[in-house]
A and B are shown apart, each in its own frame.
Chain A
């Protein structure tokens, strides 16, 4: 019964993720207005038939901005996690495969990276560089690969003892071949789970950065900076903060639920 509810939640999460994905892919078809079109007749309009989620101080349609903002927020989630997975998988598989001293040195480096308070590191780097979308993706990616590296290393450590690796060695396979063709494909399952969880995390980091004013810069809408825009008018126009907030919350929640669901499916041994 618990199982069923959990799976239903994961399924619901998946559907929600598809909806948001559709927002991002078909933004021009779904958004009723141009996200930066200024409508001076309806400034700070409350949600109504015409503007279902209301408008902001410039009279821009909030729903349209959220729809377009999903493009930026999701891309940051995917690409930041993509970067983290790429670095983590390569790093972890090399450490695990070579073992010994190489492994110790590489994993100590991971420990050191984990000692930094990641969010402040991101803040510092973005403050020094400029807060472009690319920089934000790169910085989130470069500061969040360590978990993946540890996972992959642990998998590779056991996988490399498998007979099919020995058989490939006997047939003259290079280290790179063994890592790329045999070890990584077999180690990727748990990474998928942690990557799914990571997407939610990255979206949250972008929102926090935007909220502090060093995230994605206006006029490009991201969920974080739409929320930020509403900060000053929170008293009079709640819809400016509540709606982007709900989207962030639900999306992060959805990726977490999906991640948990995937874990149950991919690693049945880990249950309870």
Chain B
């Protein structure tokens, strides 16, 4: 087991008006317990606003829980976000973006340096990774805005995988892409997972995508996990009415 959550809660104040007076709270994550096994893909599905991203950020350590405990059994964590436009720094070249994780692991930067120690990073490593995600070599010197959505997501994957992570939180990694590109990116994610035996927390509101990717699935509603089980079981014999509703809704499209 690589991740273990126990009764995790996180709420945000609802701020209203000019004075930002708190007029209540949203319980974005409301008592979640779950376990993710090594090298599996754990799917998290639920409608927009149910707290998926918040849960992902809690696991990543970007947010601190109000209550409960979060144990992550590795320091080698990475993240792939939904919108590759926002997750790639527009002022950085692809080389700098992809190499950033490696650079941050270098000792010079750890001691507080702010320069990219280019010399210390094998350029070949970055090129190899670009090859793996099927981007041309010429991409290295370009800026993110010069790429399509799908290509940008490949850059984000390259950045994540280059640091040799054990666990990646994928927060709706294909939701902003069109269907044919979605499939390519999902295949790529599966390939790298197999190659480097990476554990995924795979977040999506799209049941078909989650089903394609996941070994186990948790269904989330209003901050709570209402049902959890192996993918096969969730699809063939859902226990919870909300899961049935979600399943029906994809059949109706």
Specify which chain A residues have a CB less than 8 angstroms from the CB of B92 in the assembled complex: 181, 185
Given A166-B62, A170-B62, A186 and B104 contact (CB-CB distance below 8 Å):
no
Given A170-B78, A171-B163, A172-B105, A163 and B87 contact (CB-CB distance below 8 Å):
yes
Specify which chain B residues have a CB less than 8 angstroms from the CB of A177 in the assembled complex: 104, 109, 114
Would A176 and B88 count as touching, CB distance under 8 A? no
Would B60 and A170 count as touching, CB distance under 8 A? yes
Given A181-B114, A186-B89, A173 and B104 contact (CB-CB distance below 8 Å):
yes
A to B contact number (C-beta, < 8 Å): 58
Which of B78, B88, B91, B92 is most buried by chain A, counting CB atoms within 10 A of its CB?
Answer: B91
Would A163 and B104 count as touching, CB distance under 8 A? no
Contact with B along A160-191 (1 / 0, CB 8 A): 00111011111111101100111001100000
- Cβ-closest chain B residue relative to A186: B91
- Cβ-closest chain B residue relative to A165: B89
Which of A164, A173, A177 is most buried by chain B, counting CB atoms within 10 A of its CB?
Answer: A164
Instruction: Decide if B159 is an interface residue (CB 8 Å cutoff).
Output: yes
Would A170 and B61 count as touching, CB distance under 8 A? yes
Question: Of B87, B101, B104, B112, which is within 8 A of A164 by CB?
Answer: B87
Contact with A along B96-113 (1 / 0, CB 8 A): 000011001100010010
Complex Cα gap A149–B112 (Å): 24
Instruction: Decide if B47 is an interface residue (CB 8 Å cutoff).
Output: no
Would B87 and A170 count as touching, CB distance under 8 A? no
Specify which chain A residues have a CB less than 8 angstroms from the CB of B202 in the assembled complex: none
- Cβ-closest chain A residue relative to B171: A163
Closest chain A CB from B74 CB (angstroms):
12
Given A170-B60, A172-B104, A177-B109, A185 and B77 contact (CB-CB distance below 8 Å):
no
Tally chain B residues at the interface, Cβ within 8 Å: 26
Q: What's the dominant secondary structure at chain A's contact region?
A: helix
Complex Cα gap A170–B171 (Å): 14
Contact with A along B155-181 (1 / 0, CB 8 A): 010010001000000000000000000
Complex Cα gap A19–B83 (Å): 46
- Cβ-closest chain B residue relative to A164: B89
Complex Cα gap A167–B101 (Å): 9
Contact with B along A119-141 (1 / 0, CB 8 A): 00000000000000000000000
Chain B residues 116 to 139 lying within 8 A of chain A, measured CB to CB, are none
Instruction: Decide if B210 is an interface residue (CB 8 Å cutoff).
Output: no
Complex Cα gap A168–B86 (Å): 12
- Cβ-closest chain B residue relative to A169: B62
Complex Cα gap A176–B104 (Å): 12
Which of A170, A181, A186 is most buried by chain B, counting CB atoms within 10 A of its CB?
Answer: A170
Instruction: Decide if B42 is an interface residue (CB 8 Å cutoff).
Output: no
Question: Of A163, A170, A180, which is within 8 A of B77 by CB?
Answer: A170
Specify which chain A residues have a CB less than 8 angstroms from the CB of B57 in the assembled complex: 166
Instruction: Decide if B90 is an interface residue (CB 8 Å cutoff).
Output: yes
Given A172-B104, A172-B105, A173-B104, A167 and B87 contact (CB-CB distance below 8 Å):
yes
Would A168 and B112 count as touching, CB distance under 8 A? no
- Cβ-closest chain A residue relative to B61: A170
Instruction: Decide if B79 is an interface residue (CB 8 Å cutoff).
Output: yes
- Cβ-closest chain A residue relative to B160: A167
Would B112 and A176 count as touching, CB distance under 8 A? yes
Which of B78, B89, B90, B105 is most buried by chain A, counting CB atoms within 10 A of its CB?
Answer: B89
Question: Of A163, A170, A174, which is within 8 A of B86 by CB?
Answer: A163
Specify which chain A residues have a CB less than 8 angstroms from the CB of B89 in the assembled complex: 164, 181-182, 185-186
Closest chain A CB from B82 CB (angstroms):
8
Complex Cα gap A172–B103 (Å): 10
Q: Which 9 A-B pairs have the closest CB atoms?
A: A163-B87, A185-B91, A163-B81, A163-B86, A164-B89, A171-B101, A170-B79, A171-B104, A180-B114
Write the residues of chain B forming the contact surface with A, with a CB cutoff of 8 angstroms: 57, 60-62, 77-79, 81, 83, 86-92, 100-101, 104-105, 109, 112, 114, 156, 159, 163
For this complex, 24 residue pairs linking A to B, each with C-beta atoms less than 8 Å apart, are A162-B87, A163-B81, A163-B83, A163-B86, A164-B87, A164-B88, A166-B57, A166-B62, A166-B79, A166-B87, A167-B81, A167-B159, A170-B62, A170-B77, A170-B78, A172-B104, A173-B104, A176-B112, A176-B114, A177-B104, A181-B89, A186-B89, A186-B90, A186-B91
Write the residues of chain A forming the contact surface with B, with a CB cutoff of 8 angstroms: 162-164, 166-174, 176-177, 180-182, 185-186
